[in-house]
Structure 1
Amino acid sequence: MKLPLSFVSVSILSALFPLATFADDSAFEVIEVTGQHQRNYSAVTPESASPKTDISGLLSNLPGATVNGNGPLSGIAQYRGLYGDKVNTQVNGTTLSSAGPNAMDTPLSYASLILTERLEMTRAIAPVLAGANTIGGSVQVIESQASFDQASAKLAAQYQGNGNRSHIGGKANLGTEQHAVLVYAETLNGNDNMTTGDNRSVSPTTYNKAMAGGQYRYNLAEDAGRSESIAIGYQHLETTDAGTPALPMDIDFIRTDRVKVEGQHDINSWSLNWHLAYSDARHGMDNFSERSKPATKSARYNNADSQSYDALISLTKNAWNVGFDAQLSEHQSVITDPTNPMFNVDNFNNVSDNTFSAFAQWQQDVNRWNWQVGARVKHYQTNADEVSHSMAGSMAPINMLMTQFNYSDRSQSQTGVDIVINGRYTQTHELSWVVGLARKQDSASYQQRYLWVPMQSTGGLADGHTYVGDIDLNLETAYQIEVGSDYQTDDLTISPRVFFHRINDYIQGVAATDQTVIMAAAMMGDDNPMQFANVDAQLFGMDISGSYSINDHFNVNMIASYVHGERRDIDDNLYRISPANFNLGINYSHNNWTARIETRAVAAQDKVSETQLEQTTAGYALVNLLVSYDASNWLVKAGIDNVLDTDYQDHLAAYNRVMSSDLAAGERMSGSGLNAWITGEYRF
């Protein structure tokens, strides 16, 4: 698990050095060697990119990374073809569960735009310190922390013309030698629907979101050479009336309170880092408030909530880092019909999903090599209470599925082991080589285990199918290899990576064969229901980042990514895999002025999942412009995204689920048309 910056900075032995700057709107990648615990990561700051309504939008600025977009506030991280729960996603060092069974409140949606300093993506096989479930890599949002001996504040605002979207936020830090307080608040509004390049309205894509919180930190250090403190932080989030057009329902409300207590201590020659975090999330969604409901379709309202804990104890000494962590969560989801008080369905009933793990990592220089070797043992415990359905008495297939589930052994206990070896060989001052090997395991999500009646509560798959789960799913087991290099001179940097993942018992949807499931789904209008199952898969590809300085004022930079995912048990491709893409930008800087023109090209995606009836998409290219002026204490930035107003379909945005809109039902979601924007901030 990644360590807070205040703790890591105690043992800095090597400074940061850039490898590739400006992946997209000044995105940057760095290799960090911190103490003897090296982290290989790409990072991007909100200030360096065009305005985003959700932190997940920054992912497309990083090599190998992108986002599955189900709505303006519901972006799911994808890295090298893996996404959802397969990607370890942390905000401020913690992993806390979402309330929504369809991932409307994704982990990244809890990150504050005003508070976020940068978004990091591990550019390698994620080490065991990154977290418990890292088959698909690791994403970390680094947020501002309350700082001692500092008084500062920042006000920021942005406006986007396409969708009439705005953001206003502020944060302030007041710190003495002993005490530090950080407070922040922000509001985000999307007042109109987004429009496409051919001037069609994507409905509903409006939203209202507000966040507020703070942190208090107390200094325990007896001298300036030590970093010891304890802190408590709190966040309240409220989202209302937000659209998710790729899903069968929209957000009525999300209300979440999060608390985190943490500490850093020096104990003899050991450094101790710990935290305990708690989240209480409540979520309401429906199919009639934000979208037009056909008269033939019943009204549905889903009330969901979750409570979750995240705990960590980590000890560091010299080359070693050892520790223990745990993630515990409980989920409930009940579906009702506001026009029929008798209708009631237990979507998920008191589902518990707990992970306990212990890890150890050793990192040391051996001649020209730097080796990082780690292991993590994980124990998964899941369970669910009995369910009910108000229509079980009149529909025999639903009654049979309910009875089978309630009489099954729903308690599951599994143990997995991760082993990771990462090496870096320094050949010259300019050139180094990297290699990584890993064996990793991951458990099924609670939706994949306990979805008992055909529904679309699938953690945001957004493929339009109803699914049922399988309580007895095996752990996914991945064998991973990565090779690459980093080359850097005064003018040129280039960093290619090639990877291969062979995954046994990969979990995805397959056509349901249970006749009871098929009959129950047919009653709800789906003739092709799916069931989560273990299959065999593999993914391979490459990503590369680079930059070249032409002179003191101009530089060129690029990122490119390619991944292919396929089944090994049958001749088919994996679902929702990012198409090959390429970003090329020319940047100008002089005194306080910067400017950028870039092209983002995305290839056609015809390697699609036949099992899930996935549609192909055509390739496209977008041109974006940006100019900014950064003074000592204020910044103004303006730009135009999609300058040519190109009409295109985003392969990862799935399909339109809204009737009576400009987009046909079942049509691939179109991307945003021309979007002029302006942002500003004042620092004092």
Structure 2
Amino acid sequence: MKKKILASIIPALMAAQAANATELAPVVVSDSAVQVEPNLMVKSEIEQAAAGTSDLVEVLADSPKISVNQAGGISGFPVMNGFADNRLNVQVDGMQLVASCPNHMNTPLSYVAPSQAESIEIYPGITPASQGGDSIGGSILVKTAEPFFAPNGEQLTQGEVGTYYRSNGNAKGANLEVTTATDKVNITYKGNYAEADNYSAASDFKTFSTTTSATAGTEFTDGTQGTSTAADEVAATAYKSINHQLSLALKGDDSLFKVSITKQSVPYEQYPNQRMDMTANESTKLNLEYEQDTVWGAVRLQAYSEDVNHEMAFMDYKIQMQMPMATESNTNGFKAATDITLSDNSLLTIGTEVQKFTLNDYWVANPASAGMSPNTFWNINNGTRDRYAAFAEWQAQVNEAWKTRLGARFERVQSDADEVQGYHDADTFTKPNGQTEVTNEQSEATAFNTVERARTDHNLSLTALASYQHSDNLAMDFGLARQVRSPNLYERYTWSSWTMPAVMNNFVGDGNGYVGDINLQPEVAYTLSANFDWHAADKKQWGIQVMPYFSYVQDYIDGVALSYTPDQFNVLQYRNQDARIYGVDVAANRQLGENTLGAWTAKAKLNYAQGYNLETNDRLYNIMPLNATLSLMQQMNRWRNMLEIVMVSAKEDVSLLRNELATPGYTLVNLKFSYALKDLRIDFGVDNIFNRDYVLPTGGVYTGEGRTMAINGIPMLAVPGMGRNLYLGLNLKF
């Protein structure tokens, strides 16, 4: 399929490239409002945060709209308006990729290092029809650098090299970028390396042994034991990642053609809130983009593909006989869009999108284990999820005060999966100690295999966005939308309720097991949002934004317990139930003045959210509690420094179904310093300067060590946050 797509599109792109006639000048309707146009994080903001983290999602958390559900060291989940993971439209250079893992370890943003991101567009709550679909909570669009070109007859070569070190977890990494360009051709290489050991909490948090059977559960017959960890060590937080990207750009008089090949290799990434660890993730992406200006607007074409080979197993801290798990996926996508200039003040965008996704998730038998043999366990066999979309969007400057953006998007989503099998051709197996364990594998596999598994969803999304400039000091933005997301393959086609495979299917790190439901309906979210933006006339002296939102989600995919025991982990099945999410985000800034120590500025942000399952009146899982961040910034000559105070309230509103843990409130103080010469940038700082103890409110349950395959028998603890961390980053441009 991939070869056919490329074979058909490359000649068309190259033919169009040869037919250029005028200077490249893309058509843009200029909108300044937050809801009509996105919040934008630019390179300087990304660079300021990049030295302190290897996870791009942690950089995103500087936005007033985004928080983080922590996972592995390079693959946290961004949260916006109470929505996360597949409920958000996350794209990297236009590719809306899909996590290929029963724990969603390889999320789209895990493939992009902070040093590789040039800008990030954030559409809170509502995604314009032209920017993507199959989501209900907003969009995050990450873009790498646009190619530059030399003046006519010249050639430019430039680059950047950087490195960093962080004391907590012995984290280290490096990045390299080299570009050579003429007036028509740009060739760029980008590379990134990141590695870390386990990080440490601020103090000892373990009151249990990590190697004795009394804590970990009955030992396996082979005497398997784990690696001992220190009492303050947060096990399974280590990672290693290597990224390469080679890109070529060709510039015509009024056109641009880009092709890039991206390769990621992750030898390991451990997870403190999952029962498994990533032991390999190999990804290869090919992305082709073409832009052509015309007398009536512009044309944009894109074709992309991704191949993923993903493996999971138990690393040293998890006392288990090995349970090898493999996931293979292929994604092929195509986009075509046309901008049509209707007048000086209005623009019509129409387009189409196709994405074909194939997934195999299988767990090879381990002959040494009676529980994991003699068959290969097929979690999902030849799962397919194909999307076919068409959209239209109209943007207009109605008058001096009003701007609007109205859109409609229709998607046909087709999913299917082949027959499955368990480890055993029976509903029970005999353990080495002679005991019999009931698995129901044969019965459940037979029930799955005999039903019609193909499903087709017809999803209509409608969006209406408007911006009103009331005065020089007040702008208002409003959004109203109906947005639809179809279930992913793991939500629809995972089939075994046996606790051992069920706990391996878990996106949220809550310790529970999950089973799919073929009959799930798409989620339909009705969202109302606003932004009231008061600011100085020059938009620099001061500003405050108040951003309330409300979403009612019909057929929200939550869970029901197949058998529920309080204060223990349980097996849940995905089920459609209605939900409500609402909240408000606040952002403020003020210039405080100048003195002999430089120019001073203050910033603040506050987030409040609530989420309810309307059928059970239970709280939705992993909603961030009330939190605020205060920042005092100083700029003096080449110095840019910041004192940051992060305050998070106690989490008491929790999901009873998932036995979600309540967490205490905390306050952290961070210091950040940056010094820039013409070509050299130095970043250093201290996070959690007072070494404060805290746990992550949305970090899930600590399953980083012990006998984690057993659904219960491990301590039910929240994942501790990182203790004091000193870091230093250097970047040199040449």
The aligned residue for residue 355 of structure 1 is 387
The aligned residue for residue 217 of structure 1 is 249
Pairing 1:438–2:481 present:
yes
Pairing 1:512–2:539 present:
no
Which residue, 308, 319, 326 being the options, matches 1:293?
319
- 8 Å Cα contact 1:96-1:278 kept in structure 2: no
Aligned pairs for 1:36-185 within 5 A: 38-43=36-41, 45-49=45-49, 50-149=51-150, 150-185=156-191
Report deviation, 1:499: 0.6
The aligned residue for residue 422 of structure 1 is 465
Report deviation, 1:652: 1.1
The aligned residue for residue 411 of structure 1 is 454
Which residue, 555, 570, 577 being the options, matches 1:535?
577
Pairing 1:397–2:413 present:
no
Q: Deviations over 1:541-592 (max 9, x none)?
A: 0001111001140000011111100011122110111111101000000110
* Partner SS for 1:448: helix
Q: Structure 2: which amino acid aligns with 1:194?
A: Y
Which residue, 625, 644, 654 being the options, matches 1:608?
654
The aligned residue for residue 586 of structure 2 is 544
C-alpha distance in structure 1 between counterparts of 2:348 and 2:723, whole Å: 51
Which residue, 493, 510, 514 being the options, matches 1:467?
514
Q: Deviations over 1:358-394 (max 9, x none)?
A: 1111011122211111010011100000001131325
Which residue, 276, 299, 322 being the options, matches 2:303?
276
Which residue, 369, 374, 395 being the options, matches 2:407?
374
Q: Structure 1: which amino acid aligns with 2:87?
A: K
Report deviation, 1:52: 1.2
The aligned residue for residue 584 of structure 1 is 630
- 8 Å Cα contact 2:47-2:114 kept in structure 1: no
Residues 492 and 640 of structure 1, relative CA distance in 2, 3 Å threshold: same
Report deviation, 1:13: 6.0
Which residue, 343, 356, 364 being the options, matches 1:336?
364
Report deviation, 1:290: 3.4
Larger mean Cα displacement after TM superposition, 66-75 or 545-554: 66-75
C-alpha distance in structure 1 between counterparts of 2:354 and 2:506, whole Å: 21
Residues 8 and 196 of structure 1, relative CA distance in 2, 3 Å threshold: farther
Report deviation, 1:11: 2.8
Report deviation, 1:647: 0.7
C-alpha distance in structure 1 between counterparts of 2:732 and 2:665, whole Å: 40
Which residue, 199, 207, 212 being the options, matches 1:194?
199
- 8 Å Cα contact 2:31-2:37 kept in structure 1: no
User: Structure 2: which 5+ runs fail to align?
Assistant: 1-22, 151-155, 205-231, 342-346, 429-438, 708-712
Structure number with larger C-alpha Rg: 2
Aligned pairs for 1:220-231 within 5 A: 220-221=252-253, 226=254, 228-231=255-258
* Partner SS for 1:129: helix
- TM-score, length-normalised on structure 1? 0.90
- 8 Å Cα contact 2:90-2:97 kept in structure 1: no
The aligned residue for residue 20 of structure 1 is none
* RMSD after superposition: 2.2
- 8 Å Cα contact 1:561-1:581 kept in structure 2: yes
C-alpha distance in structure 1 between counterparts of 2:25 and 2:586, whole Å: 29
Q: Structure 2: which amino acid aligns with 1:498?
A: P
- 8 Å Cα contact 2:80-2:124 kept in structure 1: no
C-alpha distance in structure 1 between counterparts of 2:715 and 2:243, whole Å: 33
* Partner SS for 1:342: coil
* Partner SS for 2:109: helix
- 8 Å Cα contact 1:241-1:290 kept in structure 2: no
Pairing 1:311–2:334 present:
yes
Report deviation, 1:175: 1.2
Q: Using the aligned pairs only, state the percent identity.
A: 24
The aligned residue for residue 266 of structure 1 is 293
Q: Deviations over 1:247-271 (max 9, x none)?
A: 1110111011110111001244130
Q: Structure 2: which amino acid aligns with 1:427?
A: H
Runs of 4+ in 1 over 6 A off after TM superposition: none
* Partner SS for 1:194: coil
Which residue, 215, 225, 249 being the options, matches 2:276?
249
Report deviation, 1:419: 0.5
C-alpha distance in structure 2 between counterparts of 1:394 and 1:536, whole Å: 34
Q: Number of residue pairs matched?
A: 640
- 8 Å Cα contact 1:97-1:306 kept in structure 2: no
* Partner SS for 1:399: helix
* Partner SS for 1:202: coil
C-alpha distance in structure 1 between counterparts of 2:665 and 2:132, whole Å: 35
Q: Deviations over 1:586-614 (max 9, x none)?
A: 00001101111010101111111111111
The aligned residue for residue 682 of structure 2 is 636
C-alpha distance in structure 2 between counterparts of 1:597 and 1:67, whole Å: 21
C-alpha distance in structure 1 between counterparts of 2:506 and 2:301, whole Å: 30
Residues 8 and 56 of structure 1, relative CA distance in 2, 3 Å threshold: farther
Q: Deviations over 1:628-680 (max 9, x none)?
A: 1111111111100000101101011101113349x973210000000000011
Q: Deviations over 1:230-255 (max 9, x none)?
A: 12100110001221121111011101
- TM-score, length-normalised on structure 2? 0.84
Pairing 1:659–2:664 present:
no
User: Structure 1: which 5+ runs fail to align?
Assistant: 1-6, 17-30
Residues 277 and 233 of structure 1, relative CA distance in 2, 3 Å threshold: same
* Partner SS for 1:652: coil
Structure with the larger strand share: 1
Report deviation, 1:337: 4.4
Larger mean Cα displacement after TM superposition, 128-137 or 629-638: 128-137
- 8 Å Cα contact 2:681-2:731 kept in structure 1: yes
Which residue, 325, 329, 348 being the options, matches 1:302?
325
* Partner SS for 2:26: helix
C-alpha distance in structure 2 between counterparts of 1:671 and 1:109, whole Å: 20
The aligned residue for residue 11 of structure 1 is 27
- 8 Å Cα contact 1:447-1:459 kept in structure 2: no
Pairing 1:501–2:517 present:
no
- 8 Å Cα contact 1:243-1:290 kept in structure 2: no
The aligned residue for residue 541 of structure 2 is 491
Residues 459 and 152 of structure 1, relative CA distance in 2, 3 Å threshold: farther
C-alpha distance in structure 1 between counterparts of 2:573 and 2:140, whole Å: 29
Which residue, 641, 645, 657 being the options, matches 2:691?
645
* Partner SS for 1:390: coil
Q: Deviations over 1:616-635 (max 9, x none)?
A: 11111100001111111111
Aligned pairs for 1:439-454 within 5 A: 439-454=482-497
Report deviation, 1:314: 0.7
Report deviation, 1:188: 0.6
Q: Structure 1: which amino acid aligns with 2:570?
A: N
Q: Structure 1: which amino acid aligns with 2:558?
A: Q
Report deviation, 1:336: 2.8
